[in-house]
Amino acid sequence: MTATPVVVVGAGPVGLSAALALRARELPVLLLEADPEDRERPGSRALFVHRETLALLDAMRPGLADEITSYGRTWHTRRTLYRGREVYSRTFPPPSGRPPFTSLRQVDTERFLRDACGRAGVEFAWNARVIGVRCTASGVSLSCADGREVSCGQVIAADGARSAVRAGLGIPMEGTHGEGFHVVVDVADRPGEELPLERVFHYEHPGVGGRSVMRVPFTGGFQVDLQCHAGDRAEEYGTEEAVRGWLPGVVGEGYADRILWVSTYRFLRKVAASFTDPHERVLLVGEAAHLFPPFGARGMNSGIADAAAAAEAVATGTVADFAAVRRAAGLFNSEAAGVALDHLRPRRRIVRLRQRAAAALAPVLPSCGSWLEHAPYGPRHGAPALAGRKY
Ligand SMILES: Cc1cc2nc3c(=O)[nH]c(=O)nc-3n(C[C@H](O)[C@H](O)[C@H](O)COP(=O)(O)OP(=O)(O)OC[C@H]3O[C@@H](n4cnc5c(N)ncnc54)[C@H](O)[C@@H]3O)c2cc1C
């Protein structure tokens, strides 16, 4: 490579996608990552890779979507239960072309992205934690914790929720954080005794004290998401020992030694006040730019859309457009996630009553069951990556 590379900060799914998208435009890329090359990434986190995201990834590296979908899992059955009684069940015919989504652990998605980056000629610098950023009209200089200084014309910052680049630029996050928390558990399948390949959502599951629970398959296992009640304490539900106590009530006995990862999450809805600096040298993408609760699969999917848009903006000199359009998408997604949360963790009694009435009517009015099925994910769950984008 001879030209000055575009620098990407952070080798999460969004930074890796940005690097690929830049290489697809034949721009040289240097990717700075704080962690060592042989790091272990935690848990499954984002499972759901949407069809539109697959299309973006395939444009970055032809064949990548097929690699990912042939590894991931697609279920055709979705079920919803209310207090243990089924209120919705639908099995869709398998699609003829690319599936509407694929489900795999984020560590696996990142593995595919990282391999693709290697093949595309992305230059990686591991153990390169960015601690300072200085932006002028003529360029950017980044300081790393090991004393390294990197100068370039343009930076795509994908350094996650605690973005040092965003902090260095003094760009605040704006939004809210909700009360309470949920517990996310990855569980390995029992070989030969896999649970049915379906996504199941339980309102007020009787096996776990009336808390709502979702089970989502991924390759090799499934993720269970438990919505805790307002007065719950994390140590009662969110430790591995606690999970061993409540998990049988949700998926039956025999999984205590198959727990892969447990974590508790709070509900943040935040969007950066700006997605670029006044000189339009740095572009914020992914969780460096926005934080959404996981329901609705907006985080990684919209982050990859940011990455595609950022690479285009760098290549075409349209950073201001990128910043406006992707921030609008972030605000839209934040709003949609808020609607989902109001349904999932109703603060008003009327919402609970409406859900109860819909569950009672579902056997005779299928639209009530359908509403209970769709509402936990919020509006436009079907297209989280593209909301508000023009790229
Ligand atoms: C339980 C859970 C479930 C989720 N489910 C979904 C889902 O189904 N679908 C979905 O779309 N999203 C989902 N998400 C969200 C998704 O995990 C995130 O949106 C995604 O990880 C964000 O990717 P990112 O690349 O922006 O940031 P990260 O994954 O956080 O990556 C940031 C990278 O930057 C590096 N870094 C940090 N600081 C520095 C620094 N100073 N210098 C250099 N490098 C640095 C980090 O080491 C890391 O490699 C879920 C999240 C959780 C927690």
Q: In this structure, are 101 and 125 located in the same domain?
A: yes
Q: Residue 91: phi, psi to the nearest 5? A: -115, 125
CA 279 to centroid of chain Cα atoms: 29
Residues 24 and 123 in one domain: yes
CA of 377 to the centre of ligand 1 (A): 20
The residue ranking higher by pLDDT, 97 or 306, is 306
CATH number at residue 316: 3.50.50.60
* pTM, to two decimals: 0.93
Say if residue 171 is in the same domain as residue 197.
no
Of 221, 238, 265, the residue at which a domain comes to its end is 265
Whether 385 is covered by a domain: the verdict is: no
CA 198 / ligand 1 centre spacing (Å): 26
Structure tokens at 62: 């032809």
Pick the atom of ligand 1 nearest to 35's CA: 47
Could you tell me if residue 7 is inside a domain?
yes
Condensed to tens digits (0 to 9), the pLDDT of residues 235-278 reads 999 999 999 999 999 999 999 899 999 999 888 899 999 999 99
Tell me the mean pLDDT in the region 141-161: 96
Mean pLDDT of the chain: 92
**Ligand 1 contact, 289 CB (< 6 A):** no
Regarding predicted confidence, which is higher, 3 or 62?
A: 62
Ligand 1 neighbourhood includes 72 CB (under 6 angstroms): no
Mean pLDDT of 359-365: 91
Per-residue pLDDT band for 375 (boundaries 50, 70, 90) equals confident
Q: Which helix (H) or strand (E) holds 355?
A: helix 349-361
Q: Which of 282, 372, 221 is nearest to 6 (CA)?
A: 282
Q: Do 139 and 274 reside in the same domain of the chain?
A: yes
Number of domains composing the chain: 2
DSSP per-residue string spanning 135-199? EETTEEEEEETTS-EEEES-EEE---TT-HHHHHHTPPEEEEEEEEEEEEEEEE--TT-PPPSEE
Q: Please indicate, yes or no, whether residues 274 and 332 belong to a single structural domain of this protein.
A: yes
Residue 255 and residue 273 in one domain: no
Which tokens belong to 95?
A: 């699609």
Domain extent, residue 99, equals: 2-75+95-176+268-336
Q: Is residue 88 part of a domain?
A: no
Is residue 147 situated within a structural domain?
Answer: yes
Atom of ligand 1 nearest to the CA of 302: 11
Largest CA distance in the chain: 68
Region 71-83: mean pLDDT is 95
Residue 274, in any domain of the structure: yes
In this structure, the residue with its CA closest to atom 6 of ligand 1 is 46
User: 88: burial class by Cβ within 10 Å (0-12, 13-18, 19+)?
Assistant: buried
Last residue within a domain, chosen from 265, 293, 326: 265
Helix axes 13-24, 106-120, angle to 10 degrees: 30
Q: CATH number of the domain that 222 lies in?
A: 3.30.70
Beta bridge partners, 282, equal 155
- Res. 381: pLDDT tops 90: no
Nearest to 160 by CA among 194, 130, 191: 130
Judge if 216 and 198 occupy the same domain: yes
Closest to 14 (Cα-Cα) out of 165, 158, 161: 158
pLDDT-derived band at 380, boundaries 50, 70, 90: low
* pLDDT confidence of residue 386: 52
